[in-house]
Structure 1
Amino acid sequence: MKISVAIATYNGEKYIKSQLQSILDQDMPVDEVIICDDRSTDNTLIVAESFIKENGLENWKVYKNAQNLGFSRNFFNAISKTTGDIIFLADQDDIWLPNKVSVMYGIMLQNPKILALSSRYSLIDSFNKDIENPGIINVDIKDDGAMEPVSVQSLIGCSYIRGCATCFRASLKASLIDINLDDLLAHDWLINILASLNGKNYIVNKILFKYRYHGENASLTAVSRTRLIGDIEKRKRGLEQSVFAHSYILEHSHEYKNMTQSIKKKLSKCIKFEKLRLKFLNTRNLLLYFLLALKVGNYKMYYKSFFKGIKVWAGDFLYAYNIGGAKGQK
């Protein structure tokens, strides 16, 4: 089977060479690398093209978008240009361990019913130093080699698998739809939920790359009113996208062989709940916030934690009333 790597870049000149080098250094060479640049304003294109030329990589291609597409659509663009049977996704600033491709390819080869496979990862900072105790939401560092199934239910309302951890079969490409999921769910959610709906989807508990974590956790009280209003609009837009995406899955439920009545019920519940959140953010009606309080357990779906769900519920109030303190709560 042919192996492709899809990379979406934007202003990544600082780290892109290290990422490309780690892909080149794989103990099992990839057949193709597709890089789509979303009109970077730095030297990302120059760095990538120079790396390809210096190493004589004929099957590594760089494309510059005619217009800015945004994060998710840029990835979809890169994916559309791949010709491989197995497609790996790569961020522009991570570092792959040398056995990432061989381990994941081997599992996919032995298990033809697996449509998508993700790995675990460690974290590094901007200076390539390991982050030992990250305490970061939805990061589960396991390295016991076990295989964990990814259910459809676990993905409803939550994008907890990073695209850069994932490879998937080219057969999924035809199912991908051109919607903008930047703010809340992103391309990785769509790929993984479609894999779980159409076949098997797993995470292998093996650390196979280093994820670069850029922690820009500004003080909540330091957020300006202008920035906060922008964040409120982003929150609303994210909920609108989530409602659209989950509604799309529900409306096309007949197309997915693993769809069940319980999944449909959970999708409907998620859509109804997020519409209620959106209505509160738009109207600031305290009665609606009271209704959300009665459904506060629903917030758990975002971070798989009741306590963190409470923080998201509180965040809705802070965002709705422009109270400096909302930044960072989904």
Structure 2
Amino acid sequence: MISIIIATYNRAPYILETLQSIAQQTYENFECIIVDDGSTDNTSEVVAPIVANDKRFTYILRPETQKKGANHSRNYGFTLSKGDYAKFFDSDDVMLPTHLEVSINTLEKSQYDFVVADCINFDSKGLLERPYNIDRKNSPISALRFAQFKTAWITNDLLVKREFANKLKFEGDIRDQASEYQYNIRLLLLTTNGFLIDKILTHRRIHDDGFVVKAKKDMLRFDIMNAELYYITAKYVKDLAPEALLRWLLSSHVLLTYKVATQKVFPENVIGATLFLAKINGISGLMYPLSIISGYITGKGYKLAKIARG
């Protein structure tokens, strides 16, 4: 059985289409656990009919004992699941009818640990571009390539064996974006026995309240979130990651936080990142806080940041 876990918050205008697309899957052996992260709209009313009429669907309000946030809700939903395979899906996107069937057949036929479907964005006017325009037939799969967005995918398209999902979690205490990033990098440090399915099986919705649109409207916020993401990911995978991957993540963090500092915003995690950099790069890592202070005060200091990167 496939366990589909959906975290939702105020997605009443979209979630019914999402759930209907799941209910209409040609592969029917699944459970769908919807964890409401405290919606203030009428999400519960929208979801109620499909939950009442299809026992494969379960709707749960995040208990007060669980932290708020989409990633915390995803992790909580997974603890309630029973399937041999895990799939996390967003509450405003659409599964095409053969999404589950093609995914699980591909995985089981060749005994992969995970498979990844393809996806295309859409909005109210129609289909748009793919989130990641990669050569799916020839792109190598590795943690470093995923970190560098050279071979990457979104949350919706991964189907993974439970034995690996049990060893993973979504980092909850980060700003709610790129939830698949640290999760999949750690997965790829555990196994690269996966396959990129060269078929579009998901439609990813682009709308004004979605992350993609918000990011384009506020690039400073986008840089702050990505800087945090690189640092948190490095911490999350440090027990498994080769030094080259940690260096790349920390280097990316340094560049983005320096950029943020030059815009008169003092970045977060400076002390923690400095200690991490010193451990990886030695004394040159201590140039990092100096580059941040210099960038913040004078708008200069790139050479110091470059030294800190190692």
What band does the TM-score fall into relative to the shorter chain? Answer: 0.7 to 0.9
Distance 1:18 1:211, change over 3 A: same
User: Partner of 1:175: helix, strand, or coil?
Assistant: coil
RMSD of the alignment, in Å? 3.1
1:289 aligns with 2:302: yes
Shift of 1:234: 6.8
1:202 aligns with 2:195: yes
Tell me which amino acid in the other structure corresponds to 2:159.
C
Shift of 1:275: 3.5
Query: Distance in 1 between the 2:40 and 2:25 partners?
Result: 30
Does the CA-based 8 Å contact 1:149-1:201 persist in structure 2?
no
Q: Which residue of 1 aligns with 2:117?
A: 119
Query: Distance in 2 between the 1:122 and 1:277 partners?
Result: 28
1:43 aligns with 2:42: yes
Instruction: List aligned pairs for 1:174-323, cutoff 5 A.
Output: 174-177=166-169, 179-180=171-172, 182-183=174-175, 186-199=178-191, 200-214=193-207, 217=213, 232=220, 235-236=223-224, 238-250=226-238, 252-253=239-240, 263-275=242-254, 277-278=256-257, 281=261, 282=266, 283=293, 284=296, 285-291=298-304
Q: Which residue of 2 aligns with 1:315?
A: none
Query: Distance in 1 between the 2:258 and 2:132 partners?
Result: 31
Distance 1:42 1:273, change over 3 A: closer
Unaligned runs of 5+ in 1: 254-258, 299-330
Q: Which residue of 1 aligns with 2:141?
A: 150
Tell me which amino acid in the other structure corresponds to 2:203.
K
Distance 1:205 1:248, change over 3 A: same
Query: Distance in 2 between the 1:272 and 1:122 partners?
Result: 31
1:161 aligns with 2:153: yes
Tell me which amino acid in the other structure corresponds to 1:242.
Y
User: Partner of 2:127: helix, strand, or coil?
Assistant: coil
User: Partner of 2:113: helix, strand, or coil?
Assistant: strand
1:16 aligns with 2:4: no
User: Partner of 2:115: helix, strand, or coil?
Assistant: strand
Instruction: List aligned pairs for 1:76-115, cutoff 5 A.
Output: 76-112=75-111, 114-115=112-113
1:62 aligns with 2:59: yes
Q: TM-score, normalised by structure 1?
A: 0.70
Shift of 1:157: 5.3
Q: Which residue of 2 aligns with 1:309?
A: none
Does the CA-based 8 Å contact 2:50-2:57 persist in structure 1?
no
Q: TM-score, normalised by structure 2?
A: 0.74
User: Partner of 1:244: helix, strand, or coil?
Assistant: helix
User: Partner of 2:12: helix, strand, or coil?
Assistant: coil
Unaligned runs of 5+ in 2: 267-292
Identity of aligned residues (%): 21
User: Partner of 2:126: helix, strand, or coil?
Assistant: coil
Query: Distance in 1 between the 2:90 and 2:229 partners?
Result: 22
Q: Which residue of 2 aligns with 1:32?
A: 31
Higher RCO structure (Cα 8 Å, ≥6 apart)? 1
Distance 1:235 1:141, change over 3 A: closer
User: Partner of 1:210: helix, strand, or coil?
Assistant: strand
